[in-house]
Structure 1
Amino acid sequence: SPLLPASAKPLAQNEDIVNIKKALIEIKDEQTPELTVPETLKTQENQEINIDSLIEATDNSGDVDVQIDGEVNYAIPGIYTLNVQAKDASGNITQKTIQVDVEKDDFYDHIAQAAKAQLGVYQDCTMLVTNALKAVGINFHGWPEEYLSLGDLTNDPVPGDIVVYSGHVGLYIGDGQVVHGGWNGNQTVIASVECDKPLIGFVHVRKP
């Protein structure tokens, strides 16, 4: 084997110098949550929507928090905007909006208008109510007291509610006024809610 210079020494294992630089690798989650919401929703006044059940949010971390900012007043028709935010454990955020259109419930107004459209028609009281109810898809004809079965009694009537008397029936149109059939020789007229027949009550019609 070749001779080493006198000044050279064999490298011993404990004399090996190895510089190892340790690198700290930080894995940063920059993936935003997946957020699925309906863009628009429609309903009628006083008919609430379970919006929470229509929102889906997922994230690769498996941990996502969903918040809804905004309110919908279902008693007042209008267009409402809700801001939905999905946030994961790393602070990544996805935002979307939902537009909720609360439409006026004109079901009862249709009944009232159909009653007023019959003014001057010669018919008895039950046919007046029967014909008005057809405007909202209700087909019913019976004795005056039998119209009680079409809804629930109320102390706060709205135009379109049925007014049931003992032996008579009419349709309430507001301001203490009722469309009566069978009046003055079977004529259809507008007159006071108070008449010569004992009042049984106001019936708020059930929707079909």
Structure 2
Amino acid sequence: MPVKVESNDPNTVRYLIGNYDVQLENYDATIAGDQDVFVNIQKTSSSNISDQYKLNAVDSNVQEENDNTGVISTYKFKLHVSDDSAPIIELKKTNDEITVGDSFNAKDYVTRVYDIIDGDLDYTIDSNVDTENAGNYAVTFKAVDKNGNEASAQLFVTVKEEEEEEPEETATASGLNGQYSGSSNVGSSAYGGGIAGAALAQLGRYQDCTALVSNALASQGIYFHAYPAGYLSLGTIVSASQAQAGDIIYYADGGLGVAHVAVYIGNGQAVHGGWQGNQTVIASAYVGSGPVFIRVGK
């Protein structure tokens, strides 16, 4: 009885027949399902004992018969080729930022969609990107191979408003018994300088992060208090290169395993509440999971 042997090559099935290691390489690994494969063992006239059998894999049933070299014996194997590998969707990038009015074609982001068995595959695109309105959007690509294995990939697109260049000016704002004076492009945010100044005025105060931010906002007539993620609703997310003093910063993880908010004051620094025993301090804006900058009232 043939004994199956483990093989490192997924495209080769090996069996032991007597003392002989037989490799079945003639089956079709590109078609899932059951296949019949036959192996001939042919006795030869060689006097060398180690070479007295010739092994040959064939794909059709050859009946046992006699010829000049001896007897050919045929073994039949039932092989099952299974395909449980999902298709592969390769994208040029998974995040992009465009400006309102720019052209957008989701197919431009696809490098290749294929399956290791079926080759190149068709795919579907589910997109809600609106290039006429600023916002955050998602595009989902899906593919299914011939054996029903599915795969999906996502592209996240930020459509931003075209920003007008403003001359740099010095902003001076007061709030909560303190002042903030610094260089900032405050023209794109009506509240930036005031929020930053109000945050700095709270240095040393013992309070949590949301109290710090809510107090700074209140100095500008914005009365709002929520869990950290709630502050994302107050404005528009901007990139780190566009961040300005007075922007609110949201962290999915502030470094202690919980969400956090702070107020950006420029030069990579922020005012943090709930820091060092709940004290309000100046520290790096780049902590924990990393900052998400929110332009208030933009």
> In proportion to residue count, which structure has more helix?
1
| TM-score normalized by the length of structure 2 | 0.34
Larger Rg: 1
Is the strand fraction higher in 1 or 2?
Answer: 2
